[in-house]
Amino acid sequence: MKVVPTIISVSRAGLSVCGTQINGLLKMPFDAGVVKDLNVTGLTELAAQIKTFVESNKIPASDLVVVLDAETYFEKQLTGETDDQLAGEVQEFVDSVPLASPSSKIFKVGDKYHAVVINRRLYESVRAAFAALGFAVKAVVPELVLGPVGVAGTFDANACRLILKKMAYVTENSFVGVTHAGADDSWVNQNRKTATLLAAGAILISVLGVGLVVWQTVAARQTAVARARARTAKIVQALPSPIPTPAAATTSAKLADLTVRVVNASGITG
């Protein structure tokens, strides 16, 4: 049986949770001193608060779709026309964002491109707290990209239903696989690492395949050479020539049967 994901909206004030196994919309305001200006100032306290929230509301572990409220990220519509122009514009924007651990990605909404920058530490902290309880984040999307599915401005139970109906679109526009992220083990970079491993695996398989073909070719050639040498070295036995058998001696003629004629010098008998 396929488990329907739980939807979590992250705002500056706290979390909102809904799903098919949850009655209505559940809210969890961040405790004082836990999160300030998008920075987690009490990591242990945040994990403990989320654990208590999940257990007290009996929320079953499932896949998660995290929706980032517009107030939790920085966004800029891009004007560049070429890839180089867009890349330069994004990098300049990322450098201007006052976050210690930013991650960014370009999203296309309609015919416009938007750069979105998030605080990786905040969402990594939320993910880790839910992961410890058996949840698994499958998609992370900014509110910006949910307009085409009918979600705009307000996150409520109806927004959850719309998101669940458009899961293919949501996963395609996920922050997972973010570009311009720092070189760490952040969950937003996991699919990039997976792609790298798959590519390396494909190359390894190709190399092994070529090696196997070469080995088989060399082995076959060596076998053929060995057989040829064996045939050359084989001693051919010459058959002995037959010894002729002398003909049987004929019976000696009887003297009485012989007729003697004497011819004199004149050639006349007598």
257 confidence band (pLDDT: 50, 70, 90): low
List residues bridging with 140 in a β-sheet: 66
Q: In the predicted model, is pLDDT for residue 227 greater than 70?
A: no
- pTM of the predicted model over 0.75: no
Instruction: Say yes or no to pLDDT of 214 above 70.
Output: no
243-255 confidence digits (pLDDT tens): 555 554 444 445 4
**How is residue 117 written in tokens?**
């920058």
- Per residue in 194-209, pLDDT (tens digit) is 334 444 454 555 555 5
- Say what percent of the chain tops pLDDT 70: 64
Average pLDDT, the chain: 76
pLDDT value, residue 155: 86
Cα angle 26, 28, 31 (rounded to 5 degrees) comes to 170
Cβ-count burial of 16 within 10 angstroms (0-12 exposed, 13-18 middle, 19+ buried)?
Answer: buried
Q: Which of 17, 38, 108, 116 is nearest to 74 (CA)?
A: 116
Domains and CATH numbers, the chain: 6-198 (3.30.420)
Length of the chain: 270
Whole-angstrom distance, CA of residue 139 vs CA of residue 186 = 14
Give which of 8, 35, 26, 29 is closest to 137, Cα–Cα: 8
As given in the structure block, the two tokens for residue 164 are 């669940």
Tens digits of per-residue pLDDT, 77-112? Answer: 999 888 888 889 999 999 999 888 888 899 988 888
What pLDDT, on the 0 to 100 scale, is given for residue 261?
54
Residue 118, classed as helix, strand or coil, is strand
